Amino acid sequence: MYFKQITVPGLGCFSYAIGCPGAKAMAVVDPKRDIQDYLDISREEGMKITHIIDTHVHADHVSGAHELRAATGAEIMMYESSPVDFRFSKVAEGQQLEIGNARMEFMHTPGHTPDALSVLVTDLSRSEEPWMILTGDVLFVGDIGRPDLAGSEVIEDQVRNLHNTLYNKFAKLPDYLEVFPAHGMGSLCGKGMSSKTSSTLGFERKHNPMLQFASFDEFHKAMTGDYPARPKSFTHIISTNKDGAPLLECCPLEKALPPERFAERIQEGTLVIDTRDTAAFGGFHIPGSLNIGFEKQLANWVGMVVPPDADLLLVVEDKDAYDAMTTELHRIGYDRIFGYLAGGISAWLLSGRDLEKLDQFSASELRGLAGDKNLNIVDVRTPGEVKGGIIPGAKHTPLTEVLEKGLPLPKEARTVVYCGSGYRSNIAASALKKQGYENVHSLAGGITAWTRAGFPLD
């Protein structure tokens, strides 16, 4: 049997190739939208991709099932009642798929979504007993799937389903089963995932905090509490996956736009995302652009900040950075990308067009302004982060609230925003400038720089 886990850093997505070189065939489970990795495995290992399995309708990334079917002709398999509007092979509880020495048995495991599958995998060349279980989004390493994404109207059913799957259905499975989930650290489909990419069922039963509740009431209380903020992109991604994602060949063609055409597109209402680092953006940037630096969790932050149907332009360092950025955006359903600024910000500067700055305060500069009643300091971190202390005099307004409502301050008020390292504060500050806040600044290095400088917290 052939088995390989394929990871997507940042989004925390895991997909799987399972097959049999002897049978010259393989299946792909939960494929990402950019499918070259699977095509490479198929070619290098001499296995034709014959089946594509989606364990559920994903909320945080666009499925690559249709891209892969178009490239290979493989059939798409999902649970029989999956609420999708495209052709697929319906899978029932207990149904099996055999590809040479690889056997896959399907289990209906609702809770994260009502129509979720888990897949028991057996290597028949070694044993008739299953070796591992692909748990989709119902069980992670160190966490479990959140039950709220299907909608508040079904949350009670979802919590009961999740409890039944984890505490009853999985209880019948042996401890030795290796657990391979559809997500790991970085995903917003849970809230406490381990950085480890696999585990065993026995270890999770013993050490996963979400499998330790003594009663359903305790489990219910935990499952109806706070979850990570739901990005704007999730509803769009769910809808895209239900309809069937359009092929990437239908997306706008790559365009390296000169400054004059770039400016025309801005005038037409196209949104500019500047992917440079915080210092570069602070030095000079195009008025009205959003700073979402190209870091490993970029896709999650784009999903928080940018409407999924927005027309987009990118400011990047070069063509390679543009290609990498578009891949990240396509994974979460942001397909209306109309090009990048040819020559980068230097070309814009040399064209004589307007530029803006985002002043970066150092920790010592901010410390020197202690007691200035005309200065507003805003902490945009999460509620959990601020429990460790905040900068004296700061007010806490989470980033998600800043993005949605702005600040309860006059737009001319002098304001410094900060986060953990400066990444999110630049997102917040650039969004506030776009909303009309005239005198907003960012703390370079965030609270990390503040504490390392030896300054106190409240």
**Beta-ladder partners of 49:** 26
Structure tokens that stand for 47 in this block = 């296995």
What letters, b where the CB count within 10 A reaches 16 and e where it falls short, cover 417-429? bbbbbbbbbbbbb
Instruction: Respond yes or no: is residue 250 known to be catalytic.
Output: no
Report the amino acid identity of residue 73: G
Burial classification of residue 317, based on how many CB atoms lie within 10 Å of its CB (0-12 exposed, 13-18 middle, 19 or more buried): middle
Please pick, among 13, 20, 189, 419, the residue that the annotation labels catalytic.
419
What letters, b where the CB count within 10 A reaches 16 and e where it falls short, cover 73-82? ebebbbbbeb
Burial classification of residue 121, based on how many CB atoms lie within 10 Å of its CB (0-12 exposed, 13-18 middle, 19 or more buried): buried
**CB-CB neighbours of 238 under 10 Å:** 21
Asked if residues 109 and 134 have their Cβ atoms less than 8 Å apart, the reply is no
Q: Whole-angstrom Cα distance, residue 380 to residue 398?
A: 4
Q: Whole-angstrom Cα distance, residue 375 to residue 357?
A: 19
Which residues are known catalytic residues?
419
